[in-house]
Copies of this chain bind each other. A is one copy, B any other.
């Protein structure tokens, strides 16, 4: 099982292709077969970039089953299973585990923001991790949830035997430092911000789960290798090379931008599900240029 290995490396938060608002499992499989040939350490199905909040439970199950059929056993297969209620999160986690995922990534509940304090988060994750048949990865993504998990809450949760890591998408390197320093040794700390990728790895992040890994997985992996080899000039150059696309698939155009970028590099991005809307033709043209620049031989 992949979960015996450390949570280390570059992970792609894969998207969900649609055709006329229906999931296109064939295109999904084709994308994953491509990713299997790259330097990725694993994939995350049903993350934020997978439009998980826009899918129903049957669709989610089908995506996991399909992924398991395609994705190699030797690399991490992670599924997002966070829901607003603890009960639904535990149920989704059980279904994902039954379908063979190596771990689940569970974002913080967030609707009742003021109530999701450190105490409630701790109780929630402990209950989910107690119930989960597979290891649990915390997921802190304030830009979408409006809720923040403080590093010391994560540090406390890192002592649970069935919680193996955290993805923090805030882009604040001080937070990454605090997580590395405060969590138990061996705990995975995955950066979720591309623009802070290099700096996050330098201060000790064990890897990253970032949109550009859906487009240029080997560029991301090369950056991590450079940091591990102390080739800081090379790492900095790769970081600069990632910046334009990072903005397009992040703050600027979000998931519709990421899907346009996948279309631009021969994978199937396709349209998002409403209320998300495809990017404009101008944005798509800009993104095509950025992808071409990113993927050309250095």
Contacts and interface: CB of A to CB of B under 8 A. Distances in A.
Report the copy number of this chain in the oligomer.
Answer: 4
A193 B171 contact: no
A196 interface: yes
A195 interface: yes
B177 A239 contact: yes
A275 B123 contact: yes
B275 A115 contact: yes
Given A84-B53, A174-B195, A236 B204 contact: yes
Interface in A239-287: 239-240, 243, 251, 254-256, 273-277
A112 B15 CA distance: 14
Interface stretch (A38-46, A85-93, A212-220): A85-93
Q: Is the interface of A mostly helix, strand, loop or mixed?
A: helix
A70 B86 CA distance: 30
Contact of A124 (B86, B172, B240, B275): B275
A115 B240 contact: no
A250 B202 CA distance: 24
Given A109-B275, A144-B113, A232-B230, A174 B203 contact: no
Given A124-B274, A204-B236, A274-B124, A255 B112 contact: yes
Interface size, A (range):
35 or more
Given A112-B144, A254-B112, A54 B21 contact: no
Contacts of A150: none
Contacts of A171: 172, 174
Given A115-B254, A256-B115, A85 B174 contact: no
B85 A275 contact: yes
Contact of A54 (B84, B119, B173): B84
Given A113-B146, A177-B198, A230-B232, 20 more contacts: A21-B87, A54-B84, A54-B85, A54-B88, A112-B144, A115-B254, A115-B256, A115-B275, A119-B277, A120-B276, A121-B275, A123-B274, A123-B277, A171-B172, A171-B174, A177-B199, A177-B239, A198-B202, A199-B199, A199-B202
19 contacts: A48-B112, A53-B85, A85-B274, A109-B275, A112-B144, A113-B143, A113-B146, A114-B143, A115-B276, A123-B274, A124-B275, A174-B193, A174-B199, A198-B202, A199-B199, A202-B202, A202-B232, A203-B236, A230-B230
Interface of A: 21, 48, 53-56, 84-88, 109, 111-116, 119-121, 123-124, 127, 143-144, 146, 171-174, 177, 181, 193, 195-196, 198-199, 202-204, 230, 232, 236, 239-240, 243, 251, 254-256, 273-277
